[in-house]
Amino acid sequence: MLKKILFKLSRSFAKLLLPCFSLLFIKLKVNKRIANYLNDKSFKANNYYDFSNTIKKKLNNVKIVALDVGAQGGFNSDNFFPKKYNIFFEPILVEPIKSEAKKLKVNNKYVIDQGIWSKQTKKKIYILSNRLGSSSMYQPEPNYFNVHGIKKKDYKNYEITETVEIECNSLEASLKNLKIEQLDYLKIDTQGAELEILSGIGAYRPLLIKVEAHIFSMYKEVPCWSELLNYLHKLNYIVIDWKGIGSHTTRIPAEMDMIFIPNFKNKEGRNLIAANEKKFVSLMLIFGQLDLLKIISETCELSSLNEINNFEDRFFN
């Protein structure tokens, strides 16, 4: 309780002082850094909680089936949610680079060592060995590096060091090959190929989708991010959160991690949520979406409403 009170006081104190010293911050060029720090603290505020016992009771040893497309480094390698919740997932990792896939197979039951695309095909993947995690189906576009705040001396980190042709299959076909009937959580971090991958989702309807969206892409011929949003809208998903990635010289992030859930405002979305209540509630707790979860629980008449009403969403406090 004391820790919670101190946390609230520190945040209130910071919010009170920030306007008073805004001019000074501008002079010192630290205002943006402080704002980013406070935003990050708000984004992660609900990590204070540990919902492990609640989730454990709900799932009763049933795993949340998770497909991680762009899994170099392992499941949840970006620490987007606390690693203490990794135990509740059955991860399926996608890694088309054979040497990296071999590493993942040591400790993981499901590893897809092919690329994921909209259909079965062969594609070139461009390897950027100087920058881990930046390999892509699309070639880098140096003309837009400056939008991402990349200095010219660092352009060499984005040079293509190797081009590999890989076998690809659709998301739907890849899961069917593994005899996976239901997908609960989908994460796609593929440096611009998100829309193409989603185009092959078939009949699968995850309860939560996390995708990387390129507002100003540093790769050639990446589809506009609005196309990605429109496609997810057609699949009956709505965006509930986003977080900027990396540096940028624009007033909005050049790239964002975006979270989508079924559209609870219509019957189709509500039915999907209600039919998978325990997993949906668990995912929303893991991702810290407390106040929205309360609204959805009331709208969809979920049995978990009374239980989650005990939790305060610290993002807004």
Same-domain status, 212 and 297: yes
Same-domain status, 230 and 302: yes
Same-domain status, 106 and 206: yes
10-residue block means of pLDDT along the chain (317 residues)?
58 58 53 66 86 95 96 85 96 90 90 96 93 86 94 93 95 97 96 96 98 95 96 98 93 95 97 97 96 95 86 85
The domain that holds 268 is classified in CATH as 3.40.50.150
Domain membership flag for residue 16: yes
> Which residues on neighbouring strands pair with residue 116, listed in sequence order?
169
d(CA 77, CA 151) in angstroms, rounded, equals 26
| Domain total in the chain | 2
pTM above 0.85, yes or no: yes
Same-domain status, 217 and 73: yes
Full domain range(s) for residue 75: 50-113+174-316
Same-domain status, 25 and 57: no
Same-domain status, 266 and 230: yes
Domain membership flag for residue 207: yes
Domain membership flag for residue 155: no
Same-domain status, 8 and 103: no
Task: Tell me what pLDDT residue 97 has.
Answer: 83
Same-domain status, 68 and 25: no
Same-domain status, 277 and 296: yes
Same-domain status, 103 and 243: yes
